[in-house]
Every structure is written in structure tokens, then in C-alpha cells.
Structure 1
């Protein structure tokens, strides 16, 4: 009986070892990536494979994303993909500029699916992967970190003119047109470059000030005190836009 128990345990251990060995071999033979072509449903299978970057802040790991998503084609030339480091294959493409290459990677191009088939990637992560891909064959612009990009977006938003989104043409049509389309009370007519030349020399800020506060026969804010300064500025922009 003792022999039978020993034989049973030995057989069980042998099966477990065989399973472990097969798993180890399968892991070693697993491909570094999967070929995903335009039009195929690649996102579900690959969504968990990527995101080597941290879009919340800090530098994005473009190399890690490239290895997970892009390597299968760009290391082998599959589906006509230019191989990383092949200057001859990349020369025409790099001539279009880095931004164009990033746009192709984000939106898809020829056989390459959008974002390499992984819709879970952010545009910044794709850009970082492209930067790693083309680094051997072109000068890559400096990449912003996630936090730098967010700060840059906030700065751009704060730098927008006060008149952004205001319909200056409509305000001009309801408040200013009566004089500036007819020349009434000596007002310079819209589109009359000669009449506007000496006024434009004073600068846009001066013209804004005159329109807001009144000047000569022109009442403050064209006679409509309910207008905000930004709305008056938008109307002035429309008025002088044809002669600048």
C-alpha cells in the first residue's frame, strides 16, 4: 500500500511539473506584440497591454508604449510599416514633419489603425510613442510632460482675447452702423482706408478707449451703456477689420 501511495504522489508531481514547464515555454514563445490592421477590432484585445505612461503628470514612457503597441509592425516591417531606424524608409515620411506623423498615428493611416489599435491611449501617449519610434531618424521636438501640457493649456486659455466668442458684427449692426456705414456726424465709414489711416496709427487700444468712453461726437459705447467693454471692443474689431 505504501508503494501505491508513493507512486500516486510521484505521478501527480510529474503532471504538475509538466504543466509548469509548458506554461514557462509558452511564456517564452509569446510574441512581443500583435499585428493589428486598420478595420480590425483591436482595441478590446490590446487595451490592457499599453499605458506605460502616466498622463496625470511626469514624463510619459514612450518606449514602453512603443514596445507594447507598435513594435510588432515597426520592428518587422509588417503590413508595410517603416522599420524603426531605417533612414531610407523614413526619409519621405519625416519630411512631412513630426506633427503629421503624430496625426497619422492618432487618427490612423493606410494599414495602421488609429492609436495602433489601442483606443485607450491618450493623444499624448501616442505622441510619446511616435517620438521614440522616429528618434533614430529625425530631430524630435522636446516633449512636454502631462503636467506641463495641462499648464500650457491653462495658459493658452487665459491668453484668449476678452472678445472671444462675442459677435462683434451683430453689435456693430445694431449700435454702430447708423453712423459708420453712412459717415453721419463725421464718423469714418467702415472700409474707407484713407479715413481710417490716421486713426489706426494711434493704435487699437486708443480706438477701444474712444469707443468705450466716447470721443468727439461719438457717445460712450455708441449710446448703449448696457454694452460691456468687451462687447464694444468686439464691435470695434469688426469695424476696423476691413482696413487693417
Structure 2
């Protein structure tokens, strides 16, 4: 009888311990999901994620300027990944100094850049499924603190002359930016050196068990893919062996350092300072596989 009670006691203790461990794992996963939540994402062509995102919104000040579409919701899902962090020189929302020259070109030119892409900014922020109205609403919300936003039904004929002049200025600026980007890329390639042997060493680096236990794909999907799926600002696309070869030659420790502390256009921790160093390392490992 005593032995039976002892066995039952042990089983109950084990059951409670297992339940606590599972609860702790769930809490850690929820915490990571919460840290990853407030970032933008990239929608590939054919996916239905543009209209659904805007439809889920509730209104806001920008809705009136965007024909009833909640510009804040569209901005939060796509644009904020760059315009809240200043990635690749993107002007931050509310930064009057950064927007001063841009606003002189007029709202229609800014909208055209958002629709069709400009310099490092991809067309429609990397989401081809966004409608013109959704992009209009997002741009209206983005520039609302720094300029007067016209209504969505403003006459296109009035803006045509100014837009043509602004396009000439934009083309010149684009050529200059492209030259700077090419120079930066060449410099990075020269610095890398290394060769295949160094790349092999980087690929075979031993991974810390704490890092290996983290879902790097989830971290990547929540923050890194906004640039590394579309190649924003020259970011190497995941799976592009040629683009990654000179970077891998520098070794994983260097890649970790760049991702954690920032490098060139890439902000520290992808613009999400709440991520831990181990979470960033797990994302880098997934990205370079």
C-alpha cells in the first residue's frame, strides 16, 4: 500500500512538472510572437494580403484622405518597416527636416513614387496586391504630419505640370543614388575577399544550443523578410548564393555583429530593439542556410 502511494505521488509530481514546463514554453513562444508583431511584411505577387489588411481596420484620421481606407492600418502593415526606422534613408514619419525637400514636389509625385517605386523603395512597398486607393491612404497618413494632404478625388490635370517637373528631378536623383549604391556594393565586395574556403568555414560554424532552440524562421518572417525577400536597399535575397558568397566569407560572427548592431542601410536588429541577440542569430542562421 505504501509503495502504491509513493508511486502515485511520483506520477503526480512528474505531471505537475511537465505541465509547468509546457506552460513556460508557451509563454516564451508568446513573448517572442509579441516582440515580432509590430513590424511590416512583404506580400509576394499572387498572395491576398493587401485588401484584407486594410479591411480589418477601423477608421482613423487618414481614412478621409484615402477614400475610406484606413491609411494607418496599411502603413502599419507595410510602410512602417522602413519609415519608422529610416532604413536606406527612408524619411521617418513626422520628421519635417527629412520631408522638407520631398514635400515641395507635391503629393502627386510622392504618391507616384509609392505606386511605382523610387530608388530603394519598391513599388507599393513590396506588396503588389495593394490597390491604388490603399497606397494613397498610406501615403496620406505618412505625410499628414508634414504637409497638407489633398482629397483623394483631387483633379489629376492640376497636378500634371508639377508632376512632370518633379519627374525630371527624380530621375536625376535616381541616377545619383544608383551610382552611390553601386560604389557601396563594389566596396563591400572588395572588403569581403575570403573565397570559398572562408565561406565553408562560416557555414560549418558551431551553433550555440540556446540559439539552435529558437525558431529562426519565425524571427526572419516577422522582421527580416521585409527587406531580404525583395532585395530592398541592396539587401541580399535569401537563397541568392552569389549575393551571399562575399558576405559568408567574412564569417558568421561578422554577420551576427552586422545584424545585431546595424550595418550600412540595415538598422540594428532589423529595427526591432526588443529582439534578443540569440533571436537575431537564429534569424541569420535561417537566412544563410
TM-score, normalised by the number of residues in structure 1:
0.51
The counterpart of 1:98, out of the listed 97, 107, 113, is: 107
CA distance in 2, matches of 1:104, 1:10: 58
* Other-structure match for 1:71: 80
Deviations 1:77-131 (A, max 9, x none): 1110001111111111111111111110011100001110111100110010000
Asked which structure has the greater RCO (Cα within 8 Å, sep 6+), the reply is: 2
Rounded to whole Å, the distance in 1 between the matches of 2:143 and 2:33 is 30
CA contact (8 A) 2:140 2:149 kept: yes
CA contact (8 A) 1:32 1:71 kept: no
Following superposition, the deviation at residue 58 of structure 1 comes to 6.6
| TM-score (ref. length: structure 2) | 0.44
Are positions 1:17 and 2:18 aligned together?
Answer: no
1:43-97 superposed Cα distances (whole Å, 9 cap, x missing partner): 339956643334xx97101000001101111111111000111111111111111
> Using the alignment, how far apart are the partners of 1:32 and 1:93 within structure 2?
27
Task: Say if 1:47 and 1:22 are closer, same or farther in 2 by CA, change over 3 A.
Answer: farther
2:123 pairs with 1:114: yes
Considering fraction of residues, name the structure with more helix. Answer: 2
Segments of 4+ in structure 1 off by > 4 A?
45-50
Measured in 2, the distance between the counterparts of 1:124 and 1:82 equals 22
Residue 2 (structure 1) aligns with: 8
- Per the alignment, residue 125 of structure 1 pairs with 134
Mapped contact 1:49–1:68 kept (Cα < 8 A): no
Structure whose alpha-carbon radius of gyration is higher: 1
1:128-147 equivalent positions in 2, closer than 5 A: 128-143=137-152
Aligned to 1:43: 43
**For 2:23 and 2:137, how far apart are their aligned partners in 1?**
42
Structure 2: runs of 5+ lacking an equivalent: 1-6, 56-65, 156-289
